[in-house]
Structure formats: C-alpha cells, structure tokens
Structure 1
C-alpha cells in the first residue's frame, strides 16, 4: 500500500472520532426561542453573555439573563 491509499482511511477515521466528541445542546431563551448547538456553550462571559455557534455555523451571543435553560439534546 502506498501512502495515498493509507492516508484516506486514517483521515476518515480521525474525522469520525472527533465528531463523536461533540455534545449537541439546546439553549432555550425566556421568549421561547431555541438554539441547537454543536457543543456546550461557553460559560457566561465577563460582560454577561453566552457565546456559542449554532448548528448552521452562525455565531450567537445572547444575554445570560435571557437564557432559561441549557440542556443536552436527547
């Protein structure tokens, strides 16, 4: 086997292993808006906001006072 033939399966296995590490999370605001995230949002920042990336890749920043719940997706 040459390096190109071996490299593709190794790269694919690494991507699958990394994908299994994420924890899909639902962030629900007091107004009922829900965001599905790829991973647990960062904790509250010094300026009082939660920052995270939703599943579409958009960066979201919401006031911590507006967040009702943060839970792992079922």
Structure 2
C-alpha cells in the first residue's frame, strides 16, 4: 500500500460534528465510550473528546 511506513498502516478517519466541524484523525476513533463520548487523536496530535450525540458521522478517509 503506497504511503505506509514499514511500522504499519493506520487508517485515518474524518469525524464530522453536527455543527459542521470536521476532524481528521490519525487512526480510527474509539467510539461510544461508557460515558457517551467519542475520543481520538487528530492529525496535529491533539487528543479530542466529544459527546457522541454531537457527532454527525464518522467515515474512513480515502
């Protein structure tokens, strides 16, 4: 697969919130934690945690 390092590939995702905000993640988000949040690390390395009901959709980036 082109663009993958020897250490392995992780698939990026796009998390779109109800308000139109989009986050590109480094890897697949951990969805629906026990306390009702979606958490992930965005491409800038920032840990993001949002309420699951604020998420419009999550799709794997091409």
Task: Assess same fold via TM > 0.5.
Answer: yes
Q: CA deviation at 1:16?
A: 1.9
Note the aligned Cα RMSD (angstroms): 1.4
For normalisation by structure 1, the TM-score amounts to: 0.74
**Structure 2, unaligned stretches of length 5 or more?**
none
Q: Larger relative CO (CA 8 A, sep 6+): 1 or 2?
A: 2
Q: Deviation digits for residues 9-68 of structure 1, max 9, x if unmatched?
A: xxxxxx9222x4110110000000000001110121111000100000000000000001
Task: Please list every run of at least 4 consecutive aligned residues from structure 1 whose deviation after the TM superposition is greater than 3 angstroms.
Answer: none
Report the structure, 1 or 2, having the larger strand content. Answer: 2
